Amino acid sequence: MYEEVKSDVVKILKILEEKGLNYGRSGNVSVRIPNKGHVVITPSGFVKSSLSPKDALVIDMEGNVIDGEGLPTAEIQLHLGIYREYEYFNAAIHAHTIYSSALAVARESIPPIIEEAVLYVGGEVRVADYAPFGSRELAENVVKALRDRRAALLANHGVVACGKDLWEALEVLEVVERLAHIYVLSKALGRAFSIPREVVEFQKTVFLSKLKH
């Protein structure tokens, strides 16, 4: 089932590894199949960049495996929670990027320091409150932090980026990691200014008009 989608999931995992956006057994990826009630998701316990399409699982919205062998990622509740709440997201990437994770450990959100923060993400990249990985509480916290956004940091953990498809989610993830890098460097220089409030508000209107359509 959904062989092309499984292939894309594997491609994304390899791209994440190649670009230094994820490593080893960490991170997870999912794609919702619109109008089917199914989700293609990464399995638990694998080195992600070594997966082949046949390793990807298909689950229903209750988390039951309906195609494939093995267990879904421990973050299954995170992915399903996002899809239940936001019908306009059909893909989610959870990764352990360096700079985003550093800010997640510091529990410091990323302000709109450059325009891409608003145009791609929706504004400030919020930090979801801490909860143990794989927990329903973590899923609820992330869903809340994603309100009117395409990405959120997970306290002491990493980052999640969402989109209408996998490629948009990847683009958002790359933008967030770049934002985090710039923010950390600017703070090291002693100052980090956000773009003007009126610019943020105007660009956010543009972002929201596209987010749900």
Catalytic pick from 3, 4, 17, 75?
Answer: 75
- What is the percent of the chain where pLDDT is above 90? 96
- Among residues 80, 135, 128, which one has the least CA distance to residue 108? 128
| pTM, rounded to two decimals | 0.97
204 φψ region: left (φ > 0), alpha (ψ -120 to 50), beta (else):
alpha
Binned at pLDDT 50, 70 and 90, residue 213 comes out as: confident
Mean pLDDT of the chain: 96
pLDDT in tens, 172-205: 999 999 999 999 999 999 999 999 999 999 999 9
Q: Catalytic residue at 75? A: yes
The span from the CA of 126 to the CA of 204, in Å, is: 15
Question: Where does residue 189 rank: exposed (0-12), middle (13-18), buried (19+ CB within 10 A)?
Answer: exposed
CATH number of 3-211: 3.40.225.10
pLDDT the model gives residue 1: 83
Residue spans of the domains in the chain: they are: 3-211
Binned at pLDDT 50, 70 and 90, residue 58 comes out as: very high
The span from the CA of 86 to the CA of 82, in Å, is: 6
